Amino acid sequence: MFSHTTATHTARRLLDYLHSRRGEMIDLLQRLVLAESPSTVPAAQQQVLAILQQAISQRSYHVKLIPGRQTGGHLIALPQERSKNQPKQLLLGHCDTVWALGTLEKMPLMQRQGRMYGPGIYDMKAGLVLSIFAVEAILAQELPLSVVPMFLINTDEEIGSYESTNHIRRLAKICDRVFVMEPSLGPQGKIKTERKGVGEFTIKVIGKAAHAGLEPEKGSSAILELSFVIQKLFALNDPQRGISVNVGTIDGGIRSNVIAPASQARVDVRILHPEDAQWIESQIFALQATTPGTQLIIQGGIGRSPMEKTPGNQQLWQRAQQAASELGMEIQEGMAGGGSDGNTTSLYTPTLDGLGAVGDGAHAPGEFVYLDTLVERSALLAQLLLDPVLKVVDS
């Protein structure tokens, strides 16, 4: 790493340059937000991908678009000039959002009192802008990069990254470290050094239909059985262990005068410790029907393992604190209840998450970013990208 004096001088150069580019950062951010890109509409992804491909290509990168089968696909980008065996680091993000097409009519892009509002601006289009300009700042200042920054931007993160995970895993295995450009945690802009693991289960109850008035004794209510199952599921919550189980949706039945022959629940599960994955799965799959004439069909599992405070992750966090100090900033760390692609990369290489925008309101009306933090967050990332190969020391 640089000496303190050199690092502070470099930090000042990066900040000055990025301040001069603030208008262009905001312009790119506006263009990305106006290109609505819901995860479930692959065709809608093409505009935002085209904007990103052009922006990254203009920073002397070779950009490859890998088409999706049922998604919009994803971008992988490497510098045009690099040594073949040079170590790599990954800038990881997504351009899909949870917002449906037409959301801009109800949640228009706008600026007010130092904030910019719009669907997907905080989660996580601003993070993509920060990463692009961090690389630009390094190249413009002709600063030495010993670890090559590469990009992977997917379009299916909000729906589980089911097509892109194999590519994310492959790149994580060959990279020295990963910086995840997901939004920071809360208005304080905390870096995410822990994330809960995420699972999803579907529990179907099969019963038997009968007329509710004429011969109810001949039926077996799937809804009655599901009510018992739901109580058992909520009993699995254990806040002290970081385990949360939530029945998010239920449906079933035919009409009020028919004993319900079928019902279903969708269940969200969060865990803080990897060893709890097998335990919670075993508890859910061990559920048995208690209403005579009914049976359970249970599907699902833990899809994303927790992102833990591994030695490598902690060293990246310590370096981030140092880099922030060089920039005259203070940063904090925090644990996120939601998962990201950082959960995956953390299994293979040191990962730091939540390096994106400071703001609030992810997945909620009123989603926004603080515009006056864009420059310093981009400079923080640039400082981290300039570091040499990470030498992980086991704790």
Tell me the CATH class for 197-304: alpha beta
What are 321-353's pLDDT values in tens digits? 999 999 999 999 999 999 999 999 999 999 999
Distance CA 153, CA 341 (A): 11
Distances (CA, A) of 44 to 55, 99, 153, 367: 18, 12, 15, 20
What are 178-188's pLDDT values in tens digits? 999 999 999 89
Average pLDDT of the residues of the chain: 96
Distance CA 348, CA 72 (A): 26
Distance CA 9, CA 105 (A): 45
pLDDT-derived band at 7 (thresholds 50, 70, 90) equals confident
Domain coordinates of the chain in residue numbers? Answer: 4-195+307-385, 197-304
Residue 116's identity, in one-letter code, is: M
| Identical fold between 4-195+307-385 and 197-304 | no
The pLDDT assigned to 83 comes to 85
Helix axis angle, 22-34 to 45-57, nearest 10°? 160
Residue 83's identity, in one-letter code, is: S
Q: Does domain 4-195+307-385 have CATH number 3.30.56.10?
A: no
Distance CA 118, CA 108 (A): 6
Sequence-separated (6 or more) residues with CB below 8 Å from residue 130: 25, 181, 355, 356, 357, 374, 377, 378, 381
Q: What are phi and psi of 195, to 5 degrees?
A: -140, 145
pLDDT-derived band at 5 (thresholds 50, 70, 90) equals low
Q: Which residues pair with 115 in a beta bridge?
A: 112, 370
What are 81-117's pLDDT values in tens digits? 888 889 999 999 999 999 999 999 999 999 999 999 9
Find out whether the peptide bond into 124 is cis, omega within 30 degrees of 0.
Answer: yes
- The 3-state DSSP class for residue 279 equals helix
The pLDDT assigned to 117 comes to 98
Percent of the chain with pLDDT over 90: 94
pTM of the model: 0.91
